[in-house]
Amino acid sequence: MNAFWEVLEHLYKKVLLGATLESESHEYVFYLNPALPDQEYATTLSLERPDTNEVQEVHQPATVTAMPGAGVRVKRNSQTRGGQETQLLQLTVIQVMISKILSAETEIRAKEKYCDITKILLQSNEVDSKLICMIQNSDKLLSHMAAKCLALLLYFQLKEKITLSTSWIVFCENNLSEYSESNEVVHCVWILTAVIKEIFKDTCSEKTEILKQFLTTFETTLEVFYDSLFSQHFENHQDPSKIINSLVSFLDLLELLIASRIYLKSHFRSQSVFFLKPSCVLDILTQPLPAFVKRKLIIFIKKCLLCKVGEDLCRASVLALLSPDHHLDVDMMALANAVLQAVSLGLLKTLPVRGKRPCFGGNEAQPGGGDAAGPDHVLLRAASLITVKSLEIKFQNYTSINEMKADLQRFMSELLTFLKPHLQPCLQLYSPCEWLCQVFIEQDDDMLEAAKALLSVYLKLVRDYEATESVTQGKETWIRHTHENGYNPHCIFIFFLKNIGFDSAVLLDFLISSETCFLEYFVRYLKLLQKDWDIFFTICKAFNAAESQCGRNIHSCAPSLAQDRSSKQIPPPHGLTAPGSHRHAHACVPWAAGDSSELLKQDVMSKETDTVSDYSLTSHTSQRLVDYDSSDDSETESTGQCLANSQQTSFPEQASKTVQGPAGTARSSCR
């Protein structure tokens, strides 16, 4: 029987339960101190037991008997249990013990005992040096377990305000001073990432101080490694897998560094190095990298621009509302400028949109799993979003409207040219503003971020336009410019409604959801609609004309239940009345310059009194995502009555019933 193994297993079970350990801490340390492969495993230790029962608990489980007063000799490695198995169990016990120390559910007495054992282990046995040796072991399981254990020990030292191990600091500095094709680089980066994750997960109020203590040690080292890694030429490496592993691991670390800066309000150069030198990362995208690496880089940039870094890497909840940070605003501006500079130099053309799409588990499709051919929509969405988000950020400091219009036209033209081969052919025949809904159809959170960014750009241009131009001077040209470049907010909103089938229940889902920015976007859009009701009305009529011309139905995705067509115009809702008359709204032609634009313009002018009942907001046959009439017993009756009423009500009648409430308050006719 392997007494050493059984005692260690017995200790593991007690720690797993969070039980209090009664024996001396040094006795437990003996069993937890891992032996290096080149050490003599047959080293023995004689312990005289003053108390038979107490020693039996420590050295042997209850099934093992020991003679009173006799010395207990336990071999560190026996023939029945391999040394590696024992090491793995030792590492597991250490990990569980530290986890119990960090847990608020552990009893105070047990936690104090675990802390004492861990401190002795760190001070007297050089366990950190032994773990560093294990990390370099060829066995991947042992190496990984040693890395996890070392990360927890490092965080324990930080939390207990113990000076970090000198051997660990030297190990990091040696491997991260410049890039080398060694596995130790990945191990160092992974452990640093794991420590910052632990800082995020902790619920204590000293997170910022702990992070400061940690980053101060590696401030210079991290920046040096950043410069070295992103200056590499991947085509010069015979084994690119190692540098790719280092790059992917370091991106995870960078993401957490930026997240810690945003949410923990700390300011270190290592947290800002990406914003100070963004061109290093953007230049990497032009090199012959695997598609999944370029995708990860683009998504990383997208998260930085949206301030959503760290969401996938740390489990801790983060603040939804952030206080203003001038330094972060400056860094975001630098990143946006670098992205737009790269786009102007042809960055979008280098992205591997076509070809085998990277999927979970590899690039090869499973037999019978269908054809995976087609563009990489994840990459298309990310590239589109970083472009429009960078435009939004850059436009905050613009002062010249002509310069803004020129840059907007240049970058949007570049983006639409990039997207055109990968979208449905109908986009080329319809409206350039439809690009957003087609690209982001499967990712509503990104779609609304892009819509909000383009709305901000539009509002910035409108404010500057109204400040420098008269109300009517060149307005037709200005509105046409918004359509030709695919950023007219009214078209985008109508296409969004079309994509959700004009379903008010789905719209309500978006309004109450915390997973997207729809509420913020919708409030800002409604404020714009108060001023642009005439334009919105004309765009609706032009949609009708375009649908008739192209032989398409805007409700093709979900047929409306309203069949009768009204000859009434849509009145401007209460509180949304804008200066001017609808008779003059035809000056704004929604999209496309040239002959097709003139044809649409004439059609709109000739149908000034035509109906727009095709854009009914009534309910239809599409299924509701959530039934919100479930609070009373009248759920079925209320819902059924609402659907019955919607079948009889055309859009003008329903609109007037819905928005004519007191003080402009919307009231549903179904309530």
Average pLDDT rounded to a whole number, residues 590-612: 39
Looking at the structure of the chain, the number of domains it has is 3
The full 3-state SS of 249-270, as one line of letters, equals HHHHHHHHHHHHHHHHCCCCHH
Average pLDDT rounded to a whole number, residues 240-261: 92
User: What's residue 422's pLDDT?
Assistant: 86
Residue 143 and residue 2 in one domain: yes
Dihedral of CA 499/501/506/507: which sign? positive
User: What's residue 550's pLDDT?
Assistant: 59
Residue 590, domain member (yes or no) = no
User: What's residue 410's pLDDT?
Assistant: 94
User: What's residue 646's pLDDT?
Assistant: 41
Residue 157 and residue 176 in one domain: no
Average pLDDT rounded to a whole number, residues 140-146: 94
450, pLDDT greater than 70: yes
Residue 154 and residue 239 in one domain: no
* pLDDT classification of 84: cutoffs 50, 70, 90: confident
Residue 128 and residue 209 in one domain: no
Of 162, 187, 208, the one marking the end of a domain is 162
Residue 443 and residue 483 in one domain: yes
DSSP state for residue 47 in the 8-state scheme: E
Dihedral of CA 649/650/652/658: which sign? positive
Residue 99 and residue 193 in one domain: no
Residue 307, domain member (yes or no) = yes
CA distance 232 to 365: 32
CA distance 494 to 385: 20
Domain residues for 202? 164-314+324-352
Tell me if residue 73 falls in helix, strand or coil.
strand
Q: What is the pLDDT of residues 399-415, one digit of tens each?
A: 788 888 899 999 999 99
Residue 223 and residue 285 in one domain: yes
Q: What is the pLDDT of residues 266-289, one digit of tens each?
A: 889 999 999 999 999 999 998 888
Of 143, 162, 181, the one marking the end of a domain is 162
Residue 142 and residue 189 in one domain: no
User: What's residue 658's pLDDT?
Assistant: 36
Of 550, 577, 600, the one marking the end of a domain is 550
Residue 522 and residue 497 in one domain: yes
Residue 152 and residue 185 in one domain: no
* Between 156 and 80, the higher pLDDT residue: 156
CA distance 92 to 127: 14
575, pLDDT greater than 50: no
567, pLDDT greater than 70: no
Residue 199, domain member (yes or no) = yes
506, pLDDT greater than 80: yes
Residue 620, domain member (yes or no) = no
Residue 157 and residue 203 in one domain: no
Residue 229, domain member (yes or no) = yes
Percent of the chain at pLDDT above 70? Answer: 68
- What's phi and psi for 619, nearest 5 deg? -70, 155
233, pLDDT greater than 70: yes
Residue 581, domain member (yes or no) = no
Residue 343, domain member (yes or no) = yes
Q: H helices within 485-594, ranges in order?
A: 489-499, 504-512, 518-531, 533-550
Average of per-residue pLDDT values in the chain:
75
Q: What is the pLDDT of residues 388-446, one digit of tens each?
A: 999 999 998 887 888 888 999 999 999 999 998 888 665 454 678 989 998 998 899 99
Residue 176 and residue 157 in one domain: no
Tell me if residue 478 falls in helix, strand or coil.
helix
* pLDDT classification of 369: cutoffs 50, 70, 90: low
Of 99-113, 478-492, 536-550, minimum mean pLDDT range: 536-550
Of 82-91, 201-210, 349-358, minimum mean pLDDT range: 349-358
Residue 656, domain member (yes or no) = no
Helix or strand run (H / E) with residue 72: strand 72-73
Q: Which residue has the tokens 């509420």?
A: 519
* Between 550 and 462, the higher pLDDT residue: 462
